[in-house]
Structure 1
């Protein structure tokens, strides 16, 4: 049976037509247009209090105004400009320290998970689960399900039958 003899799904046909119509659409090509550097409107003290002034671009001014309006509508205080921007040197230093910080968090999470797997009392489990959440585990429920499954397969006995 050839392709001509088969009836094609109308939704697929419409998708193919749309693809061909928009193939050379500038928004699909990913062309960002001409580069324009950020327009600096002010300088503010560095957030880390190193004493250096950080550039304050127009985009930051617009975003700050938007968030201040949002906070004002919720009857909250506006954001402090001096607690937002880092200077170039502190930004570079912070990015360099990010890997170490992530490694320490992963190691702390690993230790807590190992302890949770071997925990014998439910009260200690609650504390460990809270610690793992605070460190930033992306899938607590999946982790707890996996630990529960491994306990069922290994036949470990515990005081309670499930993880809290």
Structure 2
């Protein structure tokens, strides 16, 4: 299986915050934003492994700023690291309103597993980090994975 670069996995999607997407205060619902991020991350994982994928975990969602009605959202997703059958996807959401600079409003990590026709996990291509930022994200993904697995083990052993 041929390894791929991070650049080959990049997906960007855009959406606009509509009145039906907001809470009583006029800002985008967190759940709506998570749904958009999950769809974009799914496309990045699919692009990387060229196989069906499913979300297995959502980690470290950080809502940084609110986004009011009319905000144009850009969701950026790419594979940070590929393990045997899973991939960590890094996400960044930026917001734009006319006359204002782009602002980061949310960051998160999602883990996807590639699945075969019978729904069983299957191997994925390795990822090749090229830039310093990609290498940092690649290394940090291993730290997050170890923490997830340790927490899972602790919770299941009780």
TM > 0.5: no
Q: Given the two structures, how large is their TM-score scaled by the length of structure 2?
A: 0.21
Bigger share in helix: 1
State TM-score, norm by structure 1. Answer: 0.20
Q: Which has the higher contact order (CA 8 A, sep 6+)?
A: 2
Answer with 1 or 2: which has the greater Rg. Answer: 1
